[in-house]
Chain A
Amino acid sequence: MLRIEGLEAGYGEVRVLHGISLEVREGECVALVGANGAGKSTLLRAVSGMVRVLAGSVWFEGRDLTRMPPFHLASLGIAHVPEGRRLFPEMTVEENLMLGAWVEAARRARAESLERVYALFPRLKERRRQLAGTLSGGEQQMLAIGRGLMLRPRLLMLDEPSLGLSPRLVEDVFSGLQQISVQGVSLLLAEQNIVQALSLANRAYVLETGRVVMEGSGLELLGSPRLREAYLGV
């Protein structure tokens, strides 16, 4: 579904990704794990066209995303929930969600999608008339994910959905992601919360300074002594 080959990307003169290759198959949940600054966010941003791609290619169902204007990706069914949530703070919860269904295909199913998102995150329904900027961190993250789901995406890319959340809220968010995954949406998840991410993921890639240093199934990596030593300190 998504195939990245030899991707090099960065900001200005600074190259952050040094030849990354990875793949997300239909219906799969793939985790990108690694320390802060390993290039997880940059990778997702390069896929979305938010960062300049210097070399390599990004294929989504046979189309080269690097040759497309960034706003085009949503209409292909790619939703990107960016780092820091990036909600529209001065708009209500419901307005944020409606904007998630901007592209034509999603707009037709907007009312139904809205109900689905509210079913997944009932808190959002309670706060539908509230400005997004006034939500708590956990609610904001749910809204960011919900806004991504309004697209009815085929591929949902999430950047650090657990960042800044209490352990209980992290559980909530990941159980939401689990449900989304079960519904057949492919997930590409960049996370520093390695245990949660690897438990959810079918497969995972470990990034270090812009390179893939390990890959394998979530459980494999979770059991890998090298990974446990490097990231979990046990």
Chain B
Amino acid sequence: MHPEIVLQALVNGVLMGGVYSLVSIGLTLIFGVVRIVNFAHGEFLMAGMYLTYWLWVLTRLDPVAAALVTMPVLGGFGLLLFRVLIGRVLGAPDLAQIFLTVAISLVLQNLALLLFTANYRSVTVEYATAALRVGGVAFSVARLIAFGVAVVLSFLTGVFLTRTDLGRAMRAVAQDREAAVLLGIDPNRIYGMAVALGAALAAAGGSVIMPYFYVFPTVGASFVLMAFIVVIMGGLGNVTGAFLGGLIMGVAESFGILLVGGHGGVMVGFLVLVLVLMIRPHGLLAAPKG
């Protein structure tokens, strides 16, 4: 195989992986802090994509700039969802929590189907097909921008978690909820913010991929599958692990498509997950819990 093809697959994989990282960080944050598996995470991304699409159709707002709108809107939606629904099942058995988030996912998918039909929709920005060439390898401008925004947002999330009082409180609740309560931290407030932040990050991911991706009601499903692999690979609740895992999965998928073709992407992704878990059963970065 020509080395340029391999290099191109690597570049494509890393660029897509950045977006997987961003979406997965939101998912792992919600899991780590709230201890709930959010099966509706892909629908946050889907809603972010539709919102981006309609902003472009109605106002010609650039999809990447639309993230500035989709993040607060979906963040607010996440907070509302937590207050009205998710917050009520926190003490409930796992099964009830799973049913709830799966149900939210189904309702949102069908709502999108009802409102926007099953048609694939896309935006056509001027830079959609633009690419920078380095040697024989092409860097799609749209993908580069998406990757850049994803990395910056992931980094800012890390800064928020380590350098601000609120971020530290979020980590404290994730590490020992009861001890955090004894210090005066209201866990419900932190949970709501974690869900809001997770939703906002997924929405940003939805916005930045719009220049090169179709949106349809079930678009979230493929992303959330990838995000779950990433979250498990990185170590449940581990933000840095999710970031690395996202990049790894992007590359694995890209090579899967190159070597196996079509649907080989997810398959190779799972293969990599199995390999990682064989060596590190708790994920890339999670410390084994005693």
Contacts and interface: CB of A to CB of B under 8 A. Distances in A.
Point out which of A72, A74, A91, A99 has the most chain B C-beta atoms below 10 A from its C-beta. A99
Given A88-B171, A91-B171, A71 B179 contact: no
A87 to B, nearest CB: 7
Contacts of B180: 88, 99
A107 B179 contact: no
Interface string B222-262: 00000000000000000000000000000000000000000
A71 B185 contact: yes
A70 B171 CA distance: 19
B278 to A, nearest CB: 25
A110 B185 CA distance: 16
Q: Which of A70, A88, A95, A98 has the most CB of B within 10 A?
A: A88
A55 to B, nearest CB: 23
A48 B184 CA distance: 11
A151 B168 contact: no
B175 A91 contact: yes
Contact of A50 (B165, B175, B178, B183): B178
A151 B179 CA distance: 14
Contacts of B287: 90
A75 B183 CA distance: 9
B182 A82 contact: yes
B175 A74 contact: no
Contacts of B185: 71, 99, 102
A99 B168 contact: yes
Interface in A60-87: 69-75, 79-80, 82, 86-87
A102 B173 CA distance: 13
A100 interface: yes
A70 B184 CA distance: 8
A147 interface: yes
A79 B184 CA distance: 9
A98 B163 CA distance: 11
A12 B57 CA distance: 57
Contact of A90 (B165, B171, B179, B186): B171
Classify chain B: how many residues form its interface, as a range.
10 to 19
Nearest to A96: B172
Given A98-B165, A102-B165, A87 B184 contact: no
Contacts of B171: 88, 90-91
A128 to B, nearest CB: 14
A115 to B, nearest CB: 19
A130 to B, nearest CB: 15
A102 B184 contact: yes
Nearest to A106: B184
A70 B181 contact: yes
Nearest to B286: A90
Contacts of A71: 181, 184-187
A225 interface: no
A87 B178 CA distance: 10
B158 to A, nearest CB: 14
Given A91-B168, A99-B168, A99-B169, A151 B184 contact: yes
A48 B165 contact: no
Contact of A86 (B176, B184, B186): B176
A103 interface: yes
Interface string B138-172: 00000000000000000000000000010011011
Contacts of A102: 165, 169, 183-185
Contacts of B184: 71-75, 102-103, 151
A216 interface: no
Given A90-B287, A102-B165, A80 B172 contact: no
Nearest to B183: A102
Given A88-B179, A99-B169, A102-B184, 15 more contacts: A50-B181, A70-B182, A71-B181, A73-B182, A79-B182, A86-B179, A89-B175, A90-B287, A91-B172, A91-B175, A98-B168, A99-B183, A107-B165, A147-B183, A151-B183
Interface of A: 48, 50, 69-75, 79-80, 82, 86-91, 95, 98-100, 102-103, 107, 147, 151
Minimum-distance CB pairs A-B, first 3: A74-B184, A86-B179, A103-B184
